[in-house]
Every structure is written in structure tokens, then in C-alpha cells.
Structure 1
Amino acid sequence: MSYGATGKSALVVTSGVFHHCLVLRLEGELDVDAVPLLREHLRRAWELPATPFMIIDLSEVAFCDSVGMSELVSVLQRCEQRGTRLLLGGVQGVVSRVLSITGLRNAFDVYDDFDDAVRYAMTA
């Protein structure tokens, strides 16, 4: 867990394997203070055998700065090296705007709804 200046959790990361997908759910703020927590979850994920898909659920992310976006790019690159397809689900609000502003929206497989990303992975 990452804590901001107020003492409240800034980011909560949960993860698990669902069929042939590694799923990470992020809730809160994906920023410079939270990236170490995400990296720790990812470190453990990279130790697992590669899955065909990794889905990151961003539906509960309220804020994303350039460091958070950079970490998502790093995840994409690592997934490509492993032969894993990265899907971003629940991309709305601030995350959608940041992806559009940075021109990264087309770099990722983006789904407005997390369930749509899961459905795609289940049928691919």
C-alpha cells in the first residue's frame, strides 16, 4: 500500500490469475508515490510463468501522472518481451484523457470497460 501526505492510501493493487490472464486491479492514484507499489506487484508477476494476456483494470484510478504513464509503457514493453498481450480495461476519465493527450492511446489495447477486456481475452 502507498500512503500520501494525508495518511490515506493513494493506491491499492490487487492481482490474480483468471483462466489464462494475469489481472491487476488498480484503485486510487497512479503517480510517482504509488509506482513503487505497482512495481513490487509486477516484480512478483514477472516471476510467474508468462500468460497469454495481462489485463490491468484502471476503472478505479482517479489520477495518473507522467510517472504512472511511463510505468504502464514499461509494463507494455515487458509484456511484449514475454509474448504476453497487455490489455487496459476500464479506461475512462483521467486515464483516457492522459492516454489521448500523450498520444499513447494507440500504443495500448484499450477497453472502456474492464469486462470487455476480459471477454476479448476469453475469446482470443
Structure 2
Amino acid sequence: MGEIDLYTAPRLQSELTRILDESAPAFMVIDMSGVEFCDSTGMNVLLSAHKRLRERDGVLEMAAPRPAVRKILQVTGLDSVFTIHEAVPEGLPAAEPQV
């Protein structure tokens, strides 16, 4: 399990930027099942990627957030910003992180 926080968020930011720049997806689902904790820095990285995709008429969604992350999304109101799936939708191509 991992955390998205002040120390790990820059790696996530770099990886999301690389994916958005190189493959320019119109649709992205981030599998949050392995994330135990996400602080405001991590949420800002996810929001930034969400904004970049929306500017291109794309969509960024989250899947399978663990209870602690789901609570953060609810408390901050971000559960109304992101579409959140209970599980990773089947049939989606997977991108392997290069972190």
C-alpha cells in the first residue's frame, strides 16, 4: 500500500504529465485501490490532471478508493468533482506507471 503525499506527489505529477503529454488520452481512470492515504498535495495533483483532461474535453475518474481516501474525498467535496467507481471498470487498457 502507498501514500500520495508531499514526498510522493511530485513523482505522480511527473507520471501523469508524461502520460497526458505522450498519449493524450481522452479518458483516464486512476486505480486508487493501493492508496492508503492521500493528502492535499496529492489531491491537488489529481485535480490538476483532471483540469488538464477537461480542457481537452476529456475525463479523469477514480476507481476503488480505500475508506480513508474515500473519506478525504467526501470531506473535501471532491467526491462531487470526480466520478468514483467502486472497482476498476473492466475492459480498460492499463498504463503501467514508470515511477
> Which structure has greater strand proportion?
1
Alignment partner, residue 97 of structure 2: none
Aligned Cα root-mean-square deviation (Å): 1.8
Gaps of 5+ in 2: 94-99
Aligned counterparts of 2:45 and 2:26: Cα–Cα separation in 1: 20
SS in 2 for 1:33: coil
Question: Which amino acid in 2 is paired with 1:79?
Answer: L
Q: Which has the higher contact order (CA 8 A, sep 6+)?
A: 2
Query: How many pairs are equivalent?
Result: 93
User: Which residue pairs with 2:77 in the alignment?
Assistant: 103
The answer to whether the 8 Å contact 1:31/1:64 transfers is yes
Task: Give distance in 2, aligned partners of 1:106 and 1:87.
Answer: 11
**Post-superposition CA distance 1:35-69 (Å, at most 9, x none):** 11001111211222422311100001011111111
TM-score, normalised via structure 2 length: 0.83
* Residue of structure 2 equivalent to 1:14: none
Which portions of structure 1, spanning 4 or more consecutive aligned residues, are displaced by more than 4 angstroms?
Answer: none
When the two structures are superposed, what TM-score results if normalisation uses the length of structure 1? 0.67
CA contact (8 A) 1:53 1:84 kept: yes
Unpaired segments ≥5 residues, structure 1: 1-26
Work out which of the two has the higher radius of gyration on C-alpha atoms and give 1 or 2: 1
